[in-house]
Structure 1
Amino acid sequence: MDQIIEFFKHLINPSWIIEHGGLYLLLAIIFAETGLFVGFFLPGDSLLFVAGIYSKELCSSFFDLPFLLIMVMVAIAGVLGNLVGFWFGKKSGPLLFKKQDTFFFKKKHLHQAHEFFVKYGGGAIFFARFLPIIRTFAPIVAGIVEMDTKKFMVYNIIGSFAWVFSMMLGGHYLDKMYPGLKEHLEVIILIIVLITTLPVIIKIVFGKVKNHHPSSHQQDAVEKTDS
């Protein structure tokens, strides 16, 4: 049991993931965090930024591939993660809103993603990439409300590449400007977490999510935004 707890602690430590799991674990985590509701706690933003800082090590550990190809592979993992979430939402439908809370599933996160989707329509798939927790549940909600698949894929692909490239290139070039960044990773990760979670924190503090099932009126609003 202690080993399992220790492993989960490592999974939220971006530098440990890069140093011990390399590209394989990076791809797996980005895939899980962008579409599997059990991956909402994983460190997507900070992991990508740290991966950019460790770009040289990542490339050398995987057949010396160019950093550009590494980023493309990670972005594709994000696209596939969202696609799985979308498919899961289509298959599970409203049943998810009736599911009881567990350690890996919190209904409030689903409601947050649904409200975000109602507000921004199809664009939510793009914007959600840059919001922790919401990016995990947004594709699932898109599947539940039966968003047009082609439209979903456009936002999915553009959003994934924009998110991955901006985060990884940010870490990559910041490391080139300040070579000693690896010695201050804990501070950098903390700053990224605070910045990326601030919108979610504001939402929780100033706009409590109502714990109710999605109404037909809400679903109609989503359909209108996508029509």
Structure 2
Amino acid sequence: MHIQEWLETVPAVSVYLLVGVVIGVESLGIPLPGEIVLVSAAILAATQDHINPVVLGACASAGAIIGDSIGYMIGRKGGQPLLNWAGRKFPKHFGPDHVAMAEEKFEKWGMWAVFFGRFIALLRIFAGPLAGVLKMPYWKFLIANVLGGIIWAGGTTALIYTLGMVAESWLRRFQWLGLVAALCFGLGSFLIMKRRAKKAAAEREAKAQDQVPAAID
């Protein structure tokens, strides 16, 4: 069976559920490729008539908002021990350098870290749990969470769907290239954030070394 014919047999509700669940689980603090899944689903919506982009965007938004809210509650109840456990369980995502960078952003931006964190791969995982650990007032978190979730999920779906409609004939013949592009986009954003985390860690280490001689003097 040709891939195009197979994709037409995939129930739309399965796509909606997959997107909502993956984004929701990622938002509550478990590293999953939510952005890649959303972009890939939006590309499918542009080439498969039975997938409604409005419903897709709504499911993605709901997953983001609900997942972040659950992550906030978990972080508020779990506190710092939760971050320590996550660091041991997922050292590549919740290592000391990553946590320190995220805390720095929260201290600098406050509730805006939750909003803008939705658009940044690494902070998207941290936003909910870290806001809870730092005891951010829930009403502030909720406003930033809802706005960020809707704008990120709805905006990404609309943008990719629109681009997909413009290039529909090309995507129908070379759809696998679109999926590869989505994968590269997601991995690229993650690698950029990882590099920034390493740079921030190096700067903190250098600062700490400078303070040691000063303390001795």
| Range into which the TM-score falls when normalised by the shorter chain | 0.7 to 0.9
> What CA deviation, in whole Å up to 9, does each residue of 1:123-166 have, x standing for no partner?
00011101113211121111111111111100000000111012
Q: Is 1:159 aligned to residue 148 of structure 2?
A: yes
193, 206, 209: which one pairs with 2:186? Answer: 193
> What CA deviation, in whole Å up to 9, does each residue of 1:107-135 have, x standing for no partner?
33433322221221110001110111321
Q: What's the TM-score, normalizing by structure 1?
A: 0.72
| CA shift in 2, pair 1:33/1:59, >3 Å | farther
Q: What's the TM-score, normalizing by structure 2?
A: 0.75
Decide whether the 8 Å contact of 2:75 with 2:128 is kept in 1: yes
Decide whether the 8 Å contact of 1:23 with 1:58 is kept in 2: no
Sequence identity (%): 24
Match for residue 165 of structure 2? 176
Unaligned runs of 5+ in 2: 1-6, 206-217
Alpha-carbon distance in 1 for matches of 2:61, 2:54: 11
Runs (4+) of structure 1 moved beyond 6 Å? none
Question: CA shift at 1:74, angstroms?
Answer: 1.8
102, 118, 138: which one pairs with 2:89? Answer: 102
Q: Is 1:25 aligned to residue 25 of structure 2?
A: no
Decide whether the 8 Å contact of 2:47 with 2:165 is kept in 1: no
Decide whether the 8 Å contact of 2:42 with 2:161 is kept in 1: yes
| CA shift in 2, pair 1:174/1:128, >3 Å | same
Q: Is 1:116 aligned to residue 105 of structure 2?
A: yes
| CA shift in 2, pair 1:58/1:114, >3 Å | farther
Match for residue 67 of structure 1? 53
Decide whether the 8 Å contact of 2:101 with 2:197 is kept in 1: no
Give 3-state SS (helix, strand or coil) of 1:60's partner: coil
Q: How many residues are aligned here? A: 187
Give 3-state SS (helix, strand or coil) of 1:101's partner: helix
183-192 or 77-86: bigger deviation: 183-192
Alpha-carbon distance in 2 for matches of 1:131, 1:56: 25
Decide whether the 8 Å contact of 1:130 with 1:196 is kept in 2: no
Letter in 2 for 1:44: G
126, 130, 143: which one pairs with 1:137? Answer: 126
Match for residue 82 of structure 1? 68
CA RMSD of the aligned region, Å?
2.7
Give 3-state SS (helix, strand or coil) of 2:88's partner: coil
Decide whether the 8 Å contact of 2:53 with 2:161 is kept in 1: no
Letter in 2 for 1:49: V
| CA shift in 2, pair 1:33/1:178, >3 Å | same
Alpha-carbon distance in 2 for matches of 1:43, 1:92: 24
* Greater helix fraction, Structure 1 or Structure 2: 2
Match for residue 55 of structure 1? 45
Alpha-carbon distance in 2 for matches of 1:191, 1:98: 30
